[in-house]
Chain A
Amino acid sequence: MSKTVRLVSENWGKIVPGSVSDYIKVGGFEALKKAIEITPTGVIEELKKSNLMGRGGAAYPTGIKWEQIYVIDKYPKYIVCNADEGEPGTFKDRLLLTEDPLKVIEGIIIAGYTIKAEKAYIYIRGEYPRAQEIMKNAIKNAKEAGFLGDNILGTGFSFDIEVVSGAGAYVCGENSALVESAEGKAGRPRIKPPYIKNVGLFNMPTLVNNVETFAYVPVIIAKGAEEFTKYGTEKSPGTKLISICGNVVNRGVYEIPFGLTMREIIYDIAGGIEGGRELKFVQIGGSSCECMPKELIDTPFCYKELKSKGFSVGSGAILVVDDRTCVVDFIKCITEFFVHESCGKCTPCREGNTQVYNIIKRFTEGKGTEKDIKLLERLSTTMKYASFCGLGQTATNALSSCLKYFREEFIEHTKGICRTNVCKF
């Protein structure tokens, strides 16, 4: 495990989650004090220097995002912490919330101080009731210790955090759908422009960031951007939490510096394929991302390298799949997910996902045709270019990558052959 790092995860297993005294003992709230010292512009500078990218999947530069809202002169401003973690294969936020909630809270307080917000909502998915309880308790403790509430640390800055719950909708991970849901409505994404930074929660300027992004803020402010950028690569500095799952020996959440290769991640950190089987592909970034065939696993895990080969960092989910899996059956599972999770608002995603599912199902029943493959490609293009939000735009990424790297398996299915024997004709 020597390839892993402990920056944002340094307190895991060492403290009682939510205990302010424990947290302070390991250096907690020092970043907040530093942030007050260097003032909002200093915080923004440091974040820009660190090149911290949003850790939810969209990877927008955090420093620039905070700056855009800092300059807006309209109040009240709000913060919404995206803890909806719906991307399949992703469970790193769950650990952040349950192992070191105060680190997330500290990051949010620093954000509130920087952009001059008065209230933050942590939107935790309904499937994480334990995390909701732990976070509520941590907030209560932080309030009692004076780190939340009125006149924090004598600065005159008042701030409060509230936990709100999701209720089972992957689309609510999209930032405008998240805001809609936090307003007590169905989580259907909003039209942009206007953007959430200008017209967000209750139509006020709102900062939306992923849990992990907020957790990195105290790390960077306390240790300094220079220290942070010592890890990782030039274009992708620092570390990231990855959640490894699938047919590997060591499933779990690991913090790694950017730049490790996929091979190192799968074989050194995750202990290789379980049962001594062969790797077939690794899906990097969640169900909305591409599948990488084993030939490419020497690609380094970082934004630039993955993008150049047509893959993504995404949420940090890494799903390792062995040769027992039928690619077509796998894509059927992915498509079924998007059919279920589509909000239904726009034509390409609502209709496209259903049509893709119907076709893939035909393939798994041995009734797929070559013409169907052309239809799948046509649907992929339409959904990618015409969908209202990221869900529809990325729903066929996995399919497209599998048509590229595993086309023979699809063609075999048209001839009634499933080489893994998963599909029964």
Chain B
Amino acid sequence: MSMKEVIEIIDKYERKPDKLLLILLELQKNSGRNYISEEWAEIVAKELNLPLSRVHDVITFYSMLSSKPRGKYIIQVCKSASCHVRGAENILEIFEEVLGIKVGETTEDGLFTLEATSCIGVCDISPAVKINDDVYGNLTREKVIEIVECYRKGGLKCQKQ
């Protein structure tokens, strides 16, 4: 995204400082690497007339925002209580195995970042995982393998289940 497009997003929110969180979420979504670079953070701070340290505070405070580049797909395995009692820890280990990375890491091809997350509100289908905007539940080893394969192939229509 060019600097012009970054400013367009800021303009869309009328340059209001109270829209900082929404602006950062949208910039992150359009970054291709699910993060907000220091450069973009500087532009936001300048255009909203906020100290850069305050923009940094917001980026580091919220779990969904990242100041470091991540994968194209953020795989967030829920490890809160309801998923825990239905085998979430096991699911996390399976993801680590299938992806070949440890939680917190990104695959070398830049496709996947594996994260453990707090409750995502889909306890009716736990153990569950959120991959970008989509949620998959009632996970088993087979399902995990299937889902990862689907995303490796382009991430389209993986929600059919």
Contact = CB atoms under 8 A, between A and B. Distances in A.
The answer to whether A and B touch in the complex, with CB atoms under 8 Å apart, is yes
Interface of A: 85-91, 93-94, 125-130, 164-170, 181-188, 202, 243, 245-247, 251-253, 283, 287, 317, 319, 321-322, 325, 330, 333-334, 336-337, 340-341, 343
Contact of A127 (B18, B86, B120, B126): B120
B49 interface: no
A251 B123 contact: yes
B82 A184 contact: no
B98 interface: no
B119 interface: yes
B81 A94 contact: no
B118 A128 contact: no
Given A245-B126, A334-B81, A90 B62 contact: no
A128 B21 CA distance: 15
Given A89-B82, A167-B21, A245-B126, A129 B58 contact: no
Q: Which of the listed residues B119, B120, B122, B125 has the most CB atoms from chain A within 10 Å of its own CB?
A: B119
B124 A245 contact: yes
Contact of A330 (B81, B122, B130): B81
A88 B133 CA distance: 19
Contacts of B119: 86-90, 170, 287, 337
B85 A321 contact: yes
Interface string B14-36: 00111111101100000000000
A337 B81 contact: yes
User: Which of the listed residues A170, A187, A333 has the most CB atoms from chain B within 10 Å of its own CB?
Assistant: A333
B152 interface: no
B141 interface: no
Contacts of B130: 127
Given A167-B63, A245-B123, 4 more contacts: A187-B62, A243-B124, A333-B81, A341-B118
A184 to B, nearest CB: 4
Given A89-B123, A167-B25, A246-B86, A186 B118 contact: no
B121 A125 contact: yes
Contacts of A125: 121
B88 to A, nearest CB: 8
A22 B67 CA distance: 44
Contacts of A87: 119
A242 to B, nearest CB: 12
Contacts of A181: 21
B64 interface: yes
B101 interface: no
A167 B124 contact: no
Contacts, number: 132
Nearest to B18: A184
A310 B119 CA distance: 25
A239 to B, nearest CB: 19
Nearest to A95: B124
Nearest to A325: B85
A104 B25 CA distance: 25
Given A89-B123, A125-B121, A325-B85, A167 B62 contact: yes
B22 A164 contact: yes
Given A126-B64, A127-B130, A186-B58, A165 B82 contact: no
B84 A333 contact: yes
Contacts of A170: 118-119
B57 interface: yes
- Residue picked from A90, A184, A245, most chain B C-beta under 10 Å: A184
A165 B21 contact: yes
A297 to B, nearest CB: 17
Nearest to B65: A167
Contact of B122 (A91, A126, A321): A91
B60 to A, nearest CB: 8
Contacts of B72: none
B80 A168 contact: no
Nearest to B60: A186
Contacts of A246: 82, 85-86, 123
Contacts of B24: 167
Contacts of A253: 124
Interface in B109-147: 117-126, 130, 133
Given A185-B58, A337-B118, A330 B84 contact: yes
Contacts of A91: 121-124
15 contacts: A86-B118, A89-B81, A89-B82, A91-B121, A126-B25, A126-B64, A127-B64, A164-B22, A165-B25, A184-B18, A184-B19, A243-B124, A246-B123, A317-B123, A340-B63
Contacts of B121: 85, 90-91, 93-94, 125, 127-128
B129 to A, nearest CB: 12
B70 interface: no
A49 B18 CA distance: 37
Nearest to A243: B123
Contacts of B22: 164-165, 184
Contact of B86 (A128, A166, A247, A317): A247
A129 B21 CA distance: 15
Interface in B1-54: 16-22, 24-25, 54
A329 B128 CA distance: 19
